[in-house]
């Protein structure tokens, strides 16, 4: 009896796991289609507007769908960096403002993970950014000028020390050699 229960329980689990991937769920399944568009913002310095139109394979717009905007970046290989999340309106449209961090080629990826009986969708769009945010400038910390010059100050001190050592050594060697050559009289003798 216990063995039978075990077999039935295992079979039930298999059926439960299979359900989301097929069976009843696949009967009215709709494929999602996403289209990405990139436009300049109204004010040029504001950058771009990244827009996506999401519709089902039946042509109907998908509203209140959560989409994610990514930018492809290189960090130990290509990675997707999340820019923002948006929700589509009644027409299946969603958009976000975007000011790139740098100029040049950008690849935007929009992902819709799917919901209920609607499958996932991915769309990519590449554009050449001619507007970008001003490079980040770190605020000048207090005493920055002092800190920047410390190595030079220390360098001068180190060179002075080396100069003193050299003076002590070579000055003494020269003095002793010269003093030896002079017909000077030994300490304590009178001239």
CA–CA dist 159, 140 (Å, integer)? 30
Q: Which of 33, 116, 168, 190 binds another protein (CB under 8 A)?
A: 168
CB of residue 146 to another protein, shortest distance in Å: 14
Q: Parallel, antiparallel, or unpaired: how do β-strands 66-74 and 121-129 relate?
A: unpaired
Using the rule CB under 8 A, give the single segment among 53-61, 84-92, 98-106, 150-158 that binds another protein: 150-158
- The count of residues interacting with another protein (CB under 8 A) is 29
CB of residue 138 to another protein, shortest distance in Å: 16
Do the Cβ atoms of 52 and 68 come closer than 8 Å? no
Largest CA distance in the chain: 129
Query: How open is the CA angle 141-144-146, to the nearest 5 degrees?
Result: 150
CB of residue 75 to another protein, shortest distance in Å: 22
Counting contacts by CB under 8 A, is residue 90 touching another protein? Answer: no
Do the Cβ atoms of 48 and 38 come closer than 8 Å? yes
Counting contacts by CB under 8 A, is residue 186 touching another protein? Answer: yes
- 24: which DSSP letter? G
Do the Cβ atoms of 101 and 132 come closer than 8 Å? yes
Q: Which is nearest to 32 in space by CA: 3, 7, 17, 53? A: 53
Do the Cβ atoms of 120 and 32 come closer than 8 Å? yes
Using the rule CB under 8 A, give the single segment among 5-13, 50-58, 138-146, 177-185 that binds another protein: 177-185
Using the rule CB under 8 A, give the single segment among 32-40, 91-99, 124-132, 153-161 that binds another protein: 153-161
Counting contacts by CB under 8 A, is residue 178 touching another protein? Answer: yes
Q: Which of 33, 128, 167, 190 binds another protein (CB under 8 A)?
A: 167
Counting contacts by CB under 8 A, is residue 153 touching another protein? Answer: no
How far, in whole angstroms, is CA 109 from its chain's centroid?
A: 16
CB of residue 177 to another protein, shortest distance in Å: 5
Do the Cβ atoms of 121 and 94 come closer than 8 Å? no
Looking at beta carbons only, is 136 or 186 nearer to another protein?
A: 186
Query: Residue numbers of the site for another protein (CB under 8 A)?
Result: 151, 154-155, 158, 161-162, 164-165, 167-169, 171-188
């Amino acid at each position: 009896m216990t063995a039978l229960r075990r077999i039935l329980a295992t079979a039930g689990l298999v059926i439960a796991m299979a359900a989301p991937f097929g069976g009843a769920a696949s009967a009215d399944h709709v494929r999602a289609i996403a289209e990405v568009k990139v436009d300049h913002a109204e004010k040029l310095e504001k950058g771009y507007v990244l827009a996506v139109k999401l519709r089902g394979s039946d042509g109907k717009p998908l509203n209140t769908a959560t989409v994610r905007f990514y930018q492809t970046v290189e960090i130990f290989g290509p990675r997707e960096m999340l820019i923002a999340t948006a929700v589509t309106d009644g027409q299946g449209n969603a958009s976000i403002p975007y000011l790139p961090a740098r100029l040049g080629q950008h690849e935007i990826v929009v992902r819709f993970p799917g919901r209920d009986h609607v499958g996932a969708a991915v769309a990519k769009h590449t554009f050449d950014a001619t507007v970008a945010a001003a490079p980040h400038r770190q605020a000048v910390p207090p005493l920055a000028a002092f800190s920047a010059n410390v190595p030079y100050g220390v360098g001068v001190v180190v060179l002075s020390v080396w100069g003193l050592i050299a003076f002590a050594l070579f000055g003494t060697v020269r003095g002793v050699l010269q003093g030896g050559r002079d017909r000077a009289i030994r300490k304590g003798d009178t001239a």
